[in-house]
Amino acid sequence: MRIIITGGGTGGHIYPALAFLKHLKQKESDVEVLYIGTQKGLESKIVPRAGINLKTVDIQGLRRSLSLQNLKTAYKFFTSVADAKKIMKEFQPDVVLGTGGYVAGPVVYAASQLKIPTIIHEGNSFPGITNRFLAKRVDRIAVGFHAAEQYFPAEKTTFTGNPRAQEVADAAAQVQKSAQPTVVIFGGSRGALTLNKAFIEALPELAKCPFKTIYASGEIYYDDYKAIFEQYKDSENLDIRPYINNMTELLAQSHLFLGRSGSTTIAEVTGLGLPAIYVPSPNVTADQQTKNAQEYVEQGAAQIVKDEELTGERLVQAISDILENPQRYEEMHTASLKSGVPDASERLYQLVKEISR
């Protein structure tokens, strides 16, 4: 099989693609892969580091307000379509998979015009503008949330879950749980100001709690609060760091997650069957993170604390109410396991195989 994958801008579009590729290579050892992204996107660093061939096109996102920049975007879209067609005519893919982000727009569109089988994966509960644009043009649509199904044509839409869930579940199979109840608090690679403020307020109480807290402040905030963090460096119940590099291993060892509710984060958390306390980012288009988290709240696997309502006291209370209540913990753990999709990559693989030429 020869496959082109496209998607970028944020890790939420890139990491599911890489997780799927890892599974694809296990299924088909002779698969040939080409990734199409942008030079400025996060994929320009992550994809080559994963040992995958990357080609780029020059495209930018649409502004949501009237702007002359949108005229430039329209021009770049059509030049990117032409560039993508040249790449495809040379590579001759059997199928093209788009995982979202504005770069996927011209690439998947180009493939559909060339009559190459196409599939998109929508990782969020509320679809992005790119996938909504492509929905009528592709052969198949895979979704990571049941809530996203309503936005796409039913006859070609399939729930697969997020491939990152299967990757995390597979990697964590050999990892042993920590003996001490442990919560991981993480606001993303750059951190989250609200989480930092609440965590600092909660520090005196967290240091005395019977559970362990692993906290990542985000690299841009760590130095600002380093003097405060240093005061607790000898606490056995606190592990404070700028960033978590071994997230899969740490989550697998832990019992509870508290943090933002991006689609990839939720896939990782439910892939491991962890109860979660989600604090959706208020700075995401269409309140997407709240919509993501809500599906798992309704299933009993998580709870939501609004960003503007998070305080140190609320943070400690939310964690304690779960970790110190065995019955509630088990109910949320069971619900999280049921809501996770440990075979997400395989489901997506079957769709890809079905349409590839």
Q: With bands split at pLDDT 50, 70 and 90, how would you rate the model's confidence at 286?
A: confident
Where does residue 55 rank: exposed (0-12), middle (13-18), buried (19+ CB within 10 A)? middle
Q: Convert the pLDDT of each residue in 82-111 to its tens digit.
A: 999 999 999 999 999 999 999 999 999 999
Query: Does the structure show a pLDDT above 60 at 216?
Result: yes
CATH classification at residue 32:
3.40.50.2000
Q: Convert the pLDDT of each residue in 122-154 to its tens digit.
A: 999 999 889 999 999 999 999 999 999 999 999
Whole-number percent of the chain with pLDDT over 90? 82
pLDDT (0 to 100) of residue 152? 98
Show the tokens assigned to 257.
């997650």
Task: State whether 194 and 330 are in the same domain.
Answer: yes
Task: State whether 110 and 26 are in the same domain.
Answer: yes
Read out DSSP for 250-298? HHHH-SEEEE---HHHHHHHHHTT--EEE---TTSGGGHHHHHHHHHHH
pLDDT (0 to 100) of residue 173? 83
Q: Residue 318 corresponds to which amino acid?
A: A
Domain enclosing residue 146, as ranges: 2-162+342-355
Task: State whether 203 and 326 are in the same domain.
Answer: yes
Task: State whether 289 and 350 are in the same domain.
Answer: no
pLDDT (0 to 100) of residue 312? 97
Task: State whether 350 and 333 are in the same domain.
Answer: no
Q: Mean pLDDT across the chain, nearest whole number?
A: 93
Answering whether pTM is above 0.75, one says yes
Task: State whether 17 and 138 are in the same domain.
Answer: yes
Task: State whether 117 and 204 are in the same domain.
Answer: no
The CA R_g of the chain, rounded to the nearest whole Å, is 21
Picking from 78, 77, 26, 33, the residue whose alpha carbon sits closest to that of residue 52 is: 33
Q: With bands split at pLDDT 50, 70 and 90, how would you rate the model's confidence at 172?
A: confident
Q: How many domains does the chain have?
A: 2
Task: State whether 148 and 185 are in the same domain.
Answer: no
pLDDT (0 to 100) of residue 157? 98
User: Which position has the token pair 């906290």?
Assistant: 215
Task: State whether 78 and 125 are in the same domain.
Answer: yes
Q: Residue 40 corresponds to which amino acid?
A: K
Task: State whether 22 and 118 are in the same domain.
Answer: yes
Task: State whether 214 and 130 are in the same domain.
Answer: no
Q: Convert the pLDDT of each residue in 36-87 to its tens digit.
A: 999 988 899 999 999 999 999 988 665 555 555 656 667 788 999 999 999 9
Q: With bands split at pLDDT 50, 70 and 90, how would you rate the model's confidence at 309?
A: very high
Q: Residue 56 corresponds to which amino acid?
A: T
Of the candidate ranges 43-47, 57-61, 112-116, 315-319, the one whose mean pLDDT is the lowest: 57-61
Task: State whether 260 and 346 are in the same domain.
Answer: no
